[in-house]
């Protein structure tokens, strides 16, 4: 059983307990466990196999650990099944719809016999819901939008979930004899934040053997199609994977074609059609001589067109074709350019590791610095630090820094930007810190005007250095706030503040198009992993992928600067 499935069970349990009117702490414990488990870097099933203790996971106590083990071992949870039996079927699905709470859901199912988003949608359109709750048309319409957003989520899988699955498949297939070039293509290779399906390709001396191995993988739930060189399978509800094998000498053109994007391919094909060349997954045909040229690598393919090689992340028909013909594609940022992390939690707030463990892990990544940014006390849920505790932490970090050579722990804090834009930590405390990260964690539904004013006020605060995940969205779960990003970018430039690219796969916030615009306007960007466990420092690669989609070079990213330059940036 996958972490996402375990998380879903605990999430549902929290909802059902809430319906029952159970103890709020119990409900929160399930909800928190669900959140943590969903974002774990490692599958719990594998942890169990390796004899690791679940109670090491933050938010996972004895009860949740036992239940997780039961789920992994039996595929079911007795407590969950009996809890579910107490309620009408489908009620947890209703509760998933944003805006439907424990008061409304039972009414919808008892009065209108609604058990799904689709039925609710129909009932709203028929005016039944507005009548039943006297909620008025506007609120009902709002609900409709939320259902649409939820549906979009259902159809696309976050890259954070898809990538590890694909990497497993790729490494298994690569180890088969005579196999070369196994790689992902499509939106996953372009590092889109969500993927519609998974495209895998490669070459092999005996492709049929590879296909047979592929469809027999335990992750494969269903085979949709299977031939000697390709196969399509279902890996999970809504997640399809296509595998395609070709001859070694045609791999470049195949990969180029199936990496897309479709818009990039169409623009390229149209352009070269006029020059008498026909581009396809098989190669390039000189139409006048009816001669097909094959390409073993993408580099060779683009070179034949007189183009500079294009990183997959920017193949979106946004001007990259022209720039590549001029050989003016910049050298995009890479994991190797990263010298540090600006967003990490320790066990002083809701993190799992000590500051020293976090620092050692960061040093192991080859970093020169890392900011410890625990929560402030305003966020009651996360054991936020009081002024006293923060002072203590600053002292502890000073002490630890004596021990490290060539590495510096920055004293930081993730402070809460309150609804009115004020910061929940007094200025004289903030002045003690190397790096203050401000973030919105509440009142997400403010009007554009209010939420924009709120964030601008935080940017104007002389002590705030970085604004974390500015629109505060959760992919597929919470829509971004209504904040006017253009205004935020301009203020960030004016006050010389950095904006965060949050590398958590569930956030990826700023997103690609924001990053492009921010970079154009000259905003400094800081990638933060938001790690709550040392292993999550590895999430940096997701931040890098999205930064590359935003055409970032090392000079655009604060994490690529030396410690001295970073400190100078924070001093402004
Ligand atoms: P997805 O799966 O919706 O996240 O997005 P992609 O980009 O992975 O799209 P997919 O899986 O439908 O197709 C993979 C690639 O194949 C796509 O990026 C470009 C190429 N491709 C698909 N359909 C067409 C087409 O009609 N024309 C051209 N030129 N290329 C196509
Ligand atoms: Ca795809
Ligand atoms: Ca596909």
Structural contact between residues 468 and 153, judged by C-beta atoms closer than 8 angstroms: no
Residue owning the nearest CA to atom 31 of ligand 1 = 262
Q: For residue 142, is pLDDT > 90?
A: no
**Average model confidence (pLDDT) for the chain?**
92
Looking at the domain assignment, is residue 330 inside a domain? no
**pLDDT at residue 21 above 90?**
no
Specify the residue with its C-alpha closest to ligand 1, atom 18.
260
Task: Please indicate, yes or no, if residue 219 is contained in any of the structural domains.
Answer: yes
In b/e form, how buried is each residue of 172-186, taking b as 16+ CB within 10 angstroms?
A: ebeebeebebbbbbb
Q: Are residues 127 and 30 in the same domain?
A: yes
Paired with 500 in beta bridges are 526
Mean predicted confidence (pLDDT) in 417-442: 95
CB atoms within 10 A of CB 326: 9
Q: Return the CATH number at 345.
A: 3.20.20.140
Same-domain check for residues 381 and 521 = yes
Q: Domain end: 181, 213, 246, which one?
A: 246
3-state secondary structure of 285: strand
Q: Are residues 61 and 197 in the same domain?
A: no
**Is residue 388 pLDDT above 90, yes or no?**
yes
Q: Is the pLDDT of residue 420 over 90?
A: yes
By mean pLDDT, which of 107-111, 235-239, 422-426 is the weakest? Answer: 235-239
**Rounded CA separation 401/201 (Å):** 47
Instruction: Examine the domain organization and report whether 230 and 261 are in the same domain.
Output: no
Residue 444 domain flag:
yes
Percent of the chain with pLDDT over 90: 75
Distance of CA 516 to CAs 186, 309, 519, 546, Å? 21, 20, 5, 10
The predicted-structure confidence for 401-411, as pLDDT tens digits, reads as follows 999 999 999 99
pLDDT of res. 379 = 67
81 occurs within a structural domain: yes
**Average pLDDT of span 537-557:** 98
Q: What pLDDT does 380 receive?
A: 64
* H or E segment to which residue 146 belongs: helix 136-155
What values do phi and psi take at 399, rounded to 5? Answer: -65, -50
Count of domains forming the chain: 4
Residue 410 is assigned to a structural domain of this protein:
yes
Query: Could you tell me if 307 and 329 are in contact, meaning their C-beta atoms sit under 8 angstroms apart?
Result: no
Instruction: Choose one of 306, 325, 344: the last residue of a domain.
Output: 325
Judgement on whether residues 379 and 528 belong to the same structural domain of the protein: yes
25 vs 358, which has greater pLDDT?
A: 358
Question: Ion ligand 2 — residues with CB under 5 Å?
Answer: 186-187, 197, 199
The verdict on 43 and 79 lying in the same domain is: yes
Residue 34 and residue 173 in one domain: no
Cα–ligand 1 centroid distance for 183 (angstroms): 16
Per-residue pLDDT of 321-358, as tens digits, reads 999 999 999 999 999 999 999 999 999 998 999 999 99
Residues 317 and 344 in one domain: no
In a shared domain, residues 242 and 266: no
User: Distance between CA atoms of 3 and 1, rounded to whole angstroms?
Assistant: 7
Q: Which atom of ligand 1 is nearest to the CA of 156?
A: 4
Structural domain ending residue among the three candidates 290, 325, 360: 325
Q: Is the pLDDT at 304 greater than 80, yes or no?
A: yes
Q: How does DSSP assign 79-144, residue by residue?
A: HHHHHHHTS-TTHHHHHTSTT--TTHHHHHHHHS---SHHHHHHHHHTTHHHHHHT-HHHHHHHHH
Q: Quick one: 182 and 265 in the same domain?
A: no
> What's the CATH code of the domain at 259?
3.30.210.10
Is residue 20 a part of any domain in this protein? yes
Q: Which residues line ligand 1 (CB under 6 A)?
A: 186-187, 192, 195-197, 199, 257-258, 260-262, 265-266
Does residue 73 share a domain with residue 7? yes
Q: What is the pTM of this model?
A: 0.76
Per-residue pLDDT of 509-539, as tens digits, reads: 999 999 999 999 999 999 999 999 999 999 9
Distance in angstroms between the alpha carbons of the first and the last residue of the chain: 50
Q: How confident is the model at residue 149 (pLDDT cuts 50, 70, 90)?
A: low
CATH at 195: 3.30.460.10
Structural domain harbouring 13: 3-154
User: Are 257 and 199 in contact, with CB atoms under 8 Å apart?
Assistant: no
Shared-domain flag, residues 387 and 525: yes
List pLDDT tens digits, range 467-511: 999 999 998 888 899 999 999 999 999 999 999 999 999 999 999
> What's the CATH number where 24 sits?
1.10.150.110
CA of 157 to the centre of ligand 3 (A): 13
The answer for residues whose C-beta is within 8 angstroms of residue 270's C-beta and 6 or more apart is none
């Amino acid at each position: 059983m996958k972490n996402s499935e375990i998380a879903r069970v605990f999430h549902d349990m929290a909802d059902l307990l809430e319906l029952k009117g159970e103890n709020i702490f119990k409900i929160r414990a399930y909800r928190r466990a669900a959140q943590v488990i969903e974002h774990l870097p490692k599958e719990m099933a594998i942890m169990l196999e390796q004899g690791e203790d679940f109670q090491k996971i933050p938010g996972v106590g004895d009860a949740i650990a036992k239940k997780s083990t039961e789920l992994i071992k039996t595929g079911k949870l007795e407590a969950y099944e009996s809890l579910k039996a107490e309620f009408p079927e489908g009620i947890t699905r209703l509760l998933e719809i944003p805006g439907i709470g424990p008061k409304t859901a039972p009414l919808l199912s008892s009065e209108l016999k609604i058990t799904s988003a689709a039925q609710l949608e129909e009932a709203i359109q028929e005016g039944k819901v507005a009548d039943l709750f006297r909620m008025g048309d506007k609120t009902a319409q709002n609900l409709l939008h939320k259902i649409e957003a939820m549906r979009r989520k259902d159809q696309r899988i976050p890259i954070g979930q898809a990538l590890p699955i694909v990497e497993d498949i790729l490494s298994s297939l690569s180890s088969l004899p005579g196999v070369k070039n196994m790689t992902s293509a499509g939106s996953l290779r372009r590092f889109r934040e969500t993927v519609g399906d998974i495209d895998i390709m490669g070459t092999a001396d005996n492709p049929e053997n590879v296909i047979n191995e592929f469809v027999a993988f335990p992750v494969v739930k269903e085979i949709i199609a299977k031939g000697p060189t390709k196969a399509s399978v279902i890996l999970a509800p809504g997640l399809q994977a296509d595998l395609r094998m070709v001859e070694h000498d045609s791999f470049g053109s195949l990969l180029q074609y199936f990496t897309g994007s479709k818009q990039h391919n169409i623009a390229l094909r149209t352009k070269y059609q006029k020059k008498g060349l026909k581009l396809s997954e098989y190669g390039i045909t000189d139409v006048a001589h009816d001669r097909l040229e094959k390409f073993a690598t993408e580099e060779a393919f683009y070179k034949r067109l007189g183009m500079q090689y294009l990183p997959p992340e920017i193949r979106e028909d946004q001007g990259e074709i022209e720039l590549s013909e001029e050989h003016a594609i910049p050298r995009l940022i890479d994991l190797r350019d990263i010298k540090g992390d600006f967003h990490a939690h320790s066990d002083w707030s809701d993190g799992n590791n000590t500051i020293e463990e976090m620092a050692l892990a960061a040093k192991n990544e080859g970093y020169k610095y890392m900011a410890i940014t625990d929560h402030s006390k305003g966020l009651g849920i996360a054991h936020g630090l009081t002024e006293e505790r923060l002072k203590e932490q600053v002292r502890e970090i000073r002490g630890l820094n004596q021990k490290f050579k060539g590495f510096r722990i920055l004293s930081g804090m993730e402070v809460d930007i309150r609804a009115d834009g004020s910061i929940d930590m007094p200025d004289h405390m903030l002045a003690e810190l190397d790096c203050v990260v401000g973030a919105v964690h509440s009142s997400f539904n403010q009007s554009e005007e209010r939420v924009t004013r709120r964030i601008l006020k935080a940017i104007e605060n002389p002590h705030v250095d970085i604004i974390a995940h500015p629109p505060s969205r959760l992919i597929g779960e919470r829509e971004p706030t209504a904040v006017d990003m253009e205004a935020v970018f301009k203020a960030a430039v004016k006050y010389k503040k950095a904006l965060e690219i949050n590398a958590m796969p569930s956030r990826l916030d700023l997103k690609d198009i924001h990053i492009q615009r921010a970079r154009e306007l000259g905003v400094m960007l800081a990638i933060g992993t938001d790690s709550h466990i040392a292993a999550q420092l590895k999430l940096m690669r997701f931040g890098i992928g999205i930064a590359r989609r935003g055409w970032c070079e090392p000079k655009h990213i604060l994490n690529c600067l030396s410690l001295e330059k970073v400190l100078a940036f924070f001093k402004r």
